[in-house]
């Protein structure tokens, strides 16, 4: 029957059951129960303080809402599809418990500004939770970096060996990525911290609501400035999901390297058994499934971002039912990332680093070729000429199946009479790495400075 709906007064007939199922969002927005109740308590207290409803009724409402919260968390409440969403479910439970006073809770409020509030509060909570997980990952990266400041491996461009660096330097590149992710999340809070209650369905209300007091009770430093925008805006959700997409992109890149490094072709690391799986047919296999799943799940979070952008791209002001789809995408992005981060962090913390394999790889592939060119430049040969000379030297080494370090002085002299015995020290891998001591470089002194800054960042967070 229509009168069972809290909005049923205008309708002669009840909705079809299929419509109820299609229209209902309680199956997924039930997770907003805590934010919805906190928002309702703050709203009820304000209504009482403003004399919009009797103070004793406001007290009864807030007391009962707190009891409902406890019952939900104790698993004593079963939500109803017929009540559509978390907002109407809680209001229906409240009214069933205290009668007419419960019907006063919605005074001066719409589900439009209510859901905007709940989603903002939920995202603020999850933002902080995810930032904490990222800080845990960053802590592991710094710990590994401190341990591997002298572990040399080849740096790559185009997936070809390029120049020697340290494993510490490589890891600290990811520290910078995840630091930016943390800073992006923190910055996005400045645009999420706007309290929308009081905007009503789209045009506010004639009741003398104290929006600032509600904002203060809920920990919002600001209130929204336009009622139309307040109920129809999901920029904060899109921006948050974009931040999560960036985190997943960085996790995916890191996973890709762990997958490559753990292969026989690289052999730089071994992923712990706890984060690997085997083959149902090939007994020798040890597969990096955790890293592969993280890499794969990045596409899922990207899809959630595209969902939000697509839902919002053609909507006129103000609220439209399309916006019910926002929560599924946000929730899925959060759940996916929060599933990936802890297991990735543990996988990274427990992996075995094969220093010798890394060093051997750095010795091959002519990673010190640039340093030989720089050696000639220091002998006053123009860089472009030096570049050509060393290119020919590398070609010679390939034909002879030699590393540059293995060339005799006689062979070196074939390419330039300016090359002396000091060339051997100048192009040693250690010298190549330690010579790059500019801020941000791979030399131990530079990486140590990076780690110091990183530890200060972690400490202040």
Q: How confident is the model at residue 79 (pLDDT cuts 50, 70, 90)?
A: very high
pLDDT tens digits for range 290-300: 999 999 999 99
* Residue 9 DSSP class: G
Give the pLDDT score at 6: 61
Q: In CATH terms, is domain 2-107 a member of 1.10.275.10? A: yes
Distance CA 147, CA 349 (A): 12
Mean pLDDT, rounded, for 328-356: 98
Find the helix or strand (DSSP H, E) in which 164 lies.
strand 160-166
Q: How confident is the model at residue 253 (pLDDT cuts 50, 70, 90)?
A: very high
Enumerate residues 6+ apart whose C-beta is below 8 A from 270: 262, 351, 352, 354
Distance CA 43, CA 58 (A): 9
User: Between the CA of residue 11 and those of 97, 112, 308, what are the distances in Å?
Assistant: 26, 20, 32
Percent share of the chain, pLDDT over 70: 95
| Token pair for 339 | 């599933």
Q: How confident is the model at residue 5 (pLDDT cuts 50, 70, 90)?
A: low
| Domain spans in the chain, listed from the N-terminal domain onward | 2-107, 115-206+225-360, 366-460
Q: Is 27 a catalytic residue?
A: no
**Active-site residue (options: 66, 190, 263, 279):** 279
Statement: residue 3 has pLDDT above 50: no
Q: In CATH terms, is domain 115-206+225-360 a member of 2.60.120.10? A: no
Statement: residue 1 has pLDDT above 50: no
**Average pLDDT along the chain:** 94
How is domain 366-460 classified at the architecture level of CATH?
Orthogonal Bundle (1.10)
Distance CA 237, CA 356 (A): 47
Distance CA 46, CA 59 (A): 11
DSSP 80-98: -GGG-SHHHHHHHHHHHHH
pLDDT tens digits for range 383-439: 999 999 999 999 999 999 999 989 999 999 999 999 999 999 989 999 999 999 999
**Active-site residue (options: 106, 158, 387, 416):** 158
Q: Is 387 a catalytic residue?
A: no
């Amino acid at each position: 029957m229509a009168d069972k709906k809290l909005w049923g007064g205008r309708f002669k007939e009840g909705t079809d059951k299929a419509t109820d199922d299609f229209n209902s969002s309680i199956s997924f927005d039930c997770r907003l129960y805590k934010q919805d109740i906190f928002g309702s308590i703050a709203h009820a207290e304000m209504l009482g303080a403003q004399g919009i409803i009797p103070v004793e009724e406001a007290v009864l409402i807030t007391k009962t809402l707190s009891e409902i919260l406890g019952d939900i968390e104790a698993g004593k409440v079963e939500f109803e599809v017929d009540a559509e969403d978390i907002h109407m479910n809680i209001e229906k439970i409240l009214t069933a418990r205290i009668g007419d006073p419960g019907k006063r809770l919605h005074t001066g409020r719409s589900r439009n500004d209510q859901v905007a509030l709940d989603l903002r509060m939920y995202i603020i909570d999850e933002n902080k939770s995810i930032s904490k997980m990222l800080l845990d990952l960053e802590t592991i990266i710094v710990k590994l970096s401190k341990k591997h400041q002298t572990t040399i491996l080849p740096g790559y461009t185009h997936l070809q060996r390029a120049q020697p660096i340290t494993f510490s330097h490589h890891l600290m590149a990811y520290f910078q990525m995840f630091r930016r992710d943390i800073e992006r999340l923190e910055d996005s809070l400045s645009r999420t911290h706007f309290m929308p209650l009081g905007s009503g369905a789209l045009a506010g209300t004639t009741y003398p609501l104290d929006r600032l007091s509600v904002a203060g009770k809920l920990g919002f430093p600001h209130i929204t400035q336009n009622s139309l925008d307040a109920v129809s805006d999901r920029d904060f959700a899109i921006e948050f999901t974009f931040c999560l997409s960036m985190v997943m992109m960085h996790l995916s890149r890191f996973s890709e390297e762990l997958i490559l490094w753990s292969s026989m072709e690289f052999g730089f690391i071994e992923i712990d058994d706890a984060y690997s799986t085997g083959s149902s047919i090939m007994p020798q296999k040890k597969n990096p499934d955790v890293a592969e799943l993280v890499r794969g799940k990045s596409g899922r979070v990207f899809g959630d971002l595209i969902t939000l952008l697509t839902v919002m791209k053609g909507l006129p002001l103000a609220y439209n039912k399309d916006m019910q789809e926002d929560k599924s995408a946000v929730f899925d992005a959060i759940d996916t990332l929060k599933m990936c981060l802890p297991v990735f962090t543990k996988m990274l913390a427990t992996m075995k680093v094969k220093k010798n394999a890394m060093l051997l790889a750095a010795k091959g592939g002519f990673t010190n070729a640039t340093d030989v060119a720089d050696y000639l430049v220091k002998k006053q040969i123009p860089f472009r000429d030096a570049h050509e000379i060393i290119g020919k030297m590398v070609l010679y080494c390939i034909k002879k199946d030699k590393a540059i370090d293995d060339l005799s002085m006689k062979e070196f002299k074939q390419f330039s009479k300016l090359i002396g015995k000091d060339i051997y020290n100048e192009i040693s891998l250690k010298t190549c790495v330690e010579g790059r001591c500019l801020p941000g470089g791979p030399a131990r002194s530079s990486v140590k400075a990076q780690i110091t800054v990183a530890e200060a960042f972690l400490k202040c967070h």
